[in-house]
Amino acid sequence: MHLLTTRHHYLLWLLAAHLGLCIPPLRFPAAVFLIAFLPGYVIQERFSLWKDPLFAAVGSVGLSFLLSPLLVLPAALLFGKVKEAVIVFSLDIFFLGMIWGQAAKDRVTYGEKHHSPLLPFLLLMIISGIFLYLDLTGLGPYSEDWIYFLGIVKELSRNMPPQDPEASFLLMKYPWVSYFYSALLHRLGGVSAWKVLELVSVLFGFIFLGLVYMIIVQVTGKRWAGIWAVFFLTIGRETEWFIRGIQGLGWDPFYAFDPGWAELQAFSVYSLIWGWYLPPNLIVPLLALYFFIRYDQFGEKKDFWFSWGACALSCFFHPAYYLGFMIGYSLWIGLQLLQKRFRSPWLLFYAAFLPYFLTFFLLLQPKIPADPLYLFWGDLKSIGISIRNYLGHNGVALPLALAALVFSREARTWLLPFALPLLLLSVLGVSKVNHLSHVLFPGMVYLSLLAGIGVEAVLCIRRPIRYLAYAVILGIIVPPFCFHLYDRIQTGWKGALDQEQIIAASFIRTHTAEDSTFLILPNSRYSAACIEGLGERRLVFGWVFHLNRYESVEVLQQVVGEILSFFSHGDEQSKKEFLRKYKATHIFLGPDEIRFMKDHGKDPAQFRRYYPSIFKTPQIEILKVDEERQP
């Protein structure tokens, strides 16, 4: 009877999701439920991973993030398309298999409460604030990176294997599995790719902050330590104005300290607001760490295999984060060996890269970046400047992290090995490939974990004094947080799309085929934001620095030369051959293209002889490549 009840329970959820997909107003919520919750929920119930309801919710959404892309990927590769039927069929096969393989047992009950009563309300405030802030500031796909990520989501919702949205003649070699998750929501939910990225910022923020809290509670059992870690990751740890006051430069909490886009994202709340970028790739190794801690504490095999699986999957989501995890893991093993502790299964984690290596790496064969992976500073002055900058961002957290290491054996055992290498690499040099994503951000997360533990480790004192210390910490970090948010609401975003771009992007989405390919001038952010960003169409060639990490410089230089020749000189027959070679369907003439042509003595109007104009504003013109009208 219990088995029947359990199966009926799962089938009811599945039926509800399918019905929602058939009702237009409910289509997107149903797609979110089917992709972002149900796969992990079925696994959670099957293996009884959590008895705390909030932990189970975080774990279900987190495991769905890992599972959904990999469940749909085989069928998408088989059919060569990412269609709604392919997504639903793949997930249904998984659900039905899990349902009919369900053992006869009572359903999981969620009677344990390991989380602080404050945590659900805090997470709700944070994720609601993300939505509100995105609306107030009018955030959109403005920067080169955001445009590229949006293009990746759109491309992954079309074809499999995907072409590069900024080099339509190349297979995509950028690690794209985390963006496939967003592409599934975009395709099945029927909303714009940008709206999906706004939503996944909330989903990833929920998983990311919930997982941070769960790790601290698992390590120390202290709920308020987890709350403080969430505060540090949400509000930030910026201490520059306080340090300036100590130096006699004035006590100005609203000191306009603008560290730039990279540091702003790595060290502040913007890592959550721009949550489609940094958190998803770190969620996977954090899950591996969480399950491994449980395995070492309780010795359950299911925790070991969930940890190993998450570690292996982190290669698919981004190999750099697997490498960062393994550096910390290796240091942890070394410290265990010094204590004469060793288990042979620990070594299996060094083989976790094999599934990725034998599939994606061998098939796509991405080029090794020409830049060195990491460069150490060659002089003490540069190291001093780097340390001073790091203190400006994290000064309040560093002494608290040190206190955690002094007073908490659990922090020394579990977090120090993973934090120390990243903290040293943050100040001793720079990663030439992506210092922000691969070093600063993960280091910031582990520092916040330690600082949260440090607050509770140090402030086990009388309540009036403890609350005064709490007020001092918040008094340091809250004012810069408020200033950044208020200033951005008032000033908007640098590079925001103008009205002509918005109108042109709307035209592109509604009047061109999904597989259209646009020709623009290389490295034109204005044109790429309009076409690849809000327009959701691919480019013949976009931004060089998105491609030179995975493709040879010689190939890229050749294509750039051909495009520059197309816009500056060359006969009409060679232009025709170029357009046919790269399968361009449209030519986009924005301010950058028109300026470039005029600088080379070319009149943009000459294109209209062979390519009819289908859209025109004072700054933008879109031409259709018409085979019949070409020479």
Handedness of CA 365, 430, 261, 310 (dihedral sign): positive
Residue 572 CB: number of other CB atoms within 10 A?
A: 13
- Residue 283 has which token pair? 């969620």
Using an 8 Å Cβ cutoff, are 48 and 108 in contact? yes
Region 316-336: mean pLDDT is: 91
Q: Residue 143 carries which DSSP code?
A: S
**Tens-place pLDDT, residues 55-106:** 999 999 999 999 999 999 999 999 988 999 999 999 999 988 887 766 555 5
Using an 8 Å Cβ cutoff, are 167 and 584 in contact? no
Handedness of CA 618, 619, 622, 623 (dihedral sign): positive
Contacts of 32 (CB under 8 A, 6+ apart): 185, 189, 199, 203
Instruction: Report the half-sphere exposure of 229 (CA within 13 A, side-chain side).
Output: 32
pLDDT band at 1; cut points 50, 70, 90: very low
- Residue 198 has which token pair? 């706004």
Amino acid code (one letter) for 528: A
pLDDT band at 186; cut points 50, 70, 90: very high
pLDDT band at 303; cut points 50, 70, 90: very high
Region 564-587: mean pLDDT is: 86
- Residue 176 has which token pair? 């794209």
pTM for this prediction? 0.91
Q: Residue 375 carries which DSSP code?
A: E
Q: From CA 403, how far away is CA 457, in angstroms rounded?
A: 7
Contacts of 142 (CB under 8 A, 6+ apart): 493, 494, 495, 496, 497, 529, 533
The crossing angle, in degrees rounded to 10, of helices 319-338 and 416-428 is: 120
- In this prediction, residue 264 carries a pLDDT of 59
Using an 8 Å Cβ cutoff, are 193 and 157 in contact? yes
pLDDT band at 181; cut points 50, 70, 90: very high
More confident residue, 338 or 371: 338
Query: pLDDT > 90: what percent of the chain?
Result: 36
Cα first-last separation, the chain: 75
Q: Residue 611 carries which DSSP code?
A: S
User: What phi, psi does 274 have (nearest 5°)?
Assistant: -95, 50
Query: Within the chain, what is the greatest distance between any pair of CA atoms?
Result: 86
Rg for the chain (alpha carbons), in Å? 26
Q: From CA 330, how far away is CA 335, in angstroms rounded?
A: 9
Q: Is the pLDDT of residue 629 over 60?
A: no
- In this prediction, residue 182 carries a pLDDT of 93
